[in-house]
Amino acid sequence: MSVGDIVVRQGEEITINGSTGQVFRGAMRLIKPEPPASFQTLMGWVDRIRAIKVRTNADTPYDAAKGVELGAEGIGLCRTEHMFFDTEERRLAIQEMIVADTLSGRVEALNKLLPFQKNDFKGIFKAMNGFPVTIRLIDPPLHEFVPHTEEKQIQLADKIGVPYEKIRYRVEQLHEANPMLGHRGCRLCITYPEILDMQVRAVIEAACECTAEGVKVLPEIMIPLTIDKKELGILTLRTRLVADAVIKEKNVKLNYLVGTMIEVPRAALLADQIAEVAEFFSFGTNDLTQMTMGISRDDAGKFLPDYVDEKKAGVFAEDPFQSLDQEGVGMLVKMGIEKGRQTKPGLKIGICGEHGGEAKSVEFCCRVGMNYVSCSPFRVPIARLAAAQAEIRKNLAKATAKPKKAVAKKAKTVKKAVKKPAPAKAKKAPAKKAVAKKALKKAKPAKKAAVKKAAIKKARAAKKTRVVRKGKKK
């Protein structure tokens, strides 16, 4: 990299001032930034105003603690698979499970992972003492956990004591043309329920042990990528069997929830059926955006800038992976909420995609009636502020709408009071004319009858006279 006469070579350290954008050569002494008192004052106002909760996405006790420090009120997404990559020992255990071709072999490998997952959950529960923690079961396809080069496959074979050919064959088996829509999420737990068993046991054992130590724990187990009520029902039943057995074994009173992520359009369309089983919904808008738009987030960089650029196409005002597409994806979210609450009026609903930390998307979440938004720890203050601004705008809209109604009502009353009687008289005149005309019509036949009667009388009198005269002649 070069700037003028300065050349920075690969491996050299640089220091960047994130506020000003200045770049310094070399590693400078750093100071941990501390927010000013005015920040805390502003956030205090914000928290008094906003109506929606703000959670954080956290996979480690450190991230959980940082989220709480920045004002998070729980964890909206804890990705359990991220814990598998933390150490070599964990990576080997998950790889051993994937390579195993028998149930007993997979269970043996998963038992090695159990204590690691349990300790991670204990650290998170302690950091979130009193706040809810939503833990998502394994989501990525298994091929993401295995090595793909020959060299690394040979190394793995040596470490876990299996032939290299077996590793190579298993990796080939796991290959998928479109892994985003492949064997992942809850589909893995349908095929390998032993994975679910281990993860649920780890969650509930950690929760029971923390409860025994006086920590207030509110675990929420989330099943990802659901597409059908029956599918969710199978996995929810298994989750409860494992969880309830652990609670009984530990002899601890513990409440927990089992819910699902709504991230496939079909799940949003059938949300009323899925809500019969789920105790909460969490909208995974990253995948929901990909599946609704048919756009791969990983590949969109090649063409999406043209779709956002007004001078080129201007199809979207903003990148739909940064700011929620409220017209399309948002319609599915709104429908999912409405249909879900038709079945369960008190259904807890949140969002756990990164849209949960973007101001316009947060306002949308407030408007459609979500209970919380969740985002990465450092975006929590942005979400809190956006939620308060949304509430202020809603209240202002209500306040301005009321006087308009009152003025309209007053104007209607005044108009009614000053009604002129003249037009009413003018309207009656034709009616009077019509009555007179009718009377005239009635009078004409009466006059004719009188004339006729007089003529008959006259004729009779004349006849009588003639008869009398004739009698005198005789």
Q: Would residue 195 count as lying in a domain? A: yes
Q: Which of 345, 380, 401 is the last residue of a domain?
A: 401
Q: Would residue 350 count as lying in a domain? A: yes
Q: Would residue 224 count as lying in a domain? A: yes
User: Do 204 and 103 have their domain in common?
Assistant: yes
* Inter-CA distances, 308 with 358, 363, 384, Å: 17, 21, 27
User: Do 333 and 443 have their domain in common?
Assistant: no
Q: Would residue 30 count as lying in a domain? A: no
User: Do 117 and 211 have their domain in common?
Assistant: yes
User: Do 213 and 351 have their domain in common?
Assistant: yes
Q: Which helix (H) or strand (E) holds 102?
A: none
User: Do 451 and 349 have their domain in common?
Assistant: no
User: Do 121 and 238 have their domain in common?
Assistant: yes
- Please answer whether residues 57 and 29 qualify as being in contact, where contact means their C-beta atoms are separated by less than 8 angstroms: no
Q: What is the pLDDT of residue 461?
A: 59
Backbone angles phi, psi at 88, to 5 degrees: -60, -40
- Please answer whether residues 324 and 356 qualify as being in contact, where contact means their C-beta atoms are separated by less than 8 angstroms: no
Q: How far apart (Å, rounded) are the C-alpha atoms in residues 134 and 57?
A: 9
Q: Residue 341: which domain range?
A: 51-141+176-401
Q: Would residue 158 count as lying in a domain? A: no
Q: What is the pLDDT of residue 420?
A: 55
Q: How many domains does the chain divide into?
A: 2
Work out the burial of residue 156: count CB atoms within 10 Å of its CB; fewer than 13 is exposed, 13-18 middle, 19 or more buried.
Answer: buried
327 three-class SS: coil
What is the CATH number for 75? 3.20.20.60
Q: Would residue 418 count as lying in a domain? A: no
User: Do 82 and 223 have their domain in common?
Assistant: yes
The pTM (predicted TM-score) of the whole model is: 0.81
Q: Which of 379, 401, 423 is the last residue of a domain?
A: 401
User: Do 272 and 200 have their domain in common?
Assistant: yes
Q: Would residue 267 count as lying in a domain? A: yes
What is the chain's percent helix, strand, coil content, to nearest 5? 60, 10, 30
Q: What is the pLDDT of residue 408?
A: 58
Single-letter amino acid code for the residue at 167 = I
User: Do 371 and 460 have their domain in common?
Assistant: no
> Which pair of structure tokens corresponds to residue 218?
């509110």
User: Do 223 and 304 have their domain in common?
Assistant: yes
Q: How far apart (Å, rounded) are the C-alpha atoms in residues 259 and 134?
A: 9
User: Do 82 and 216 have their domain in common?
Assistant: yes
Q: Smallest Cα–Cα separation from 219: which of 250, 243, 188? A: 243
Q: DSSP H helical segments within 14-102, as ranges?
A: 37-49, 61-69, 88-99
User: Do 94 and 210 have their domain in common?
Assistant: yes
Residues of the chain with pLDDT under 50: 425-427, 429, 432, 435-436, 439-440, 442, 467-468, 470-474
Q: What is the pLDDT of residue 459?
A: 60
Q: Would residue 339 count as lying in a domain? A: yes
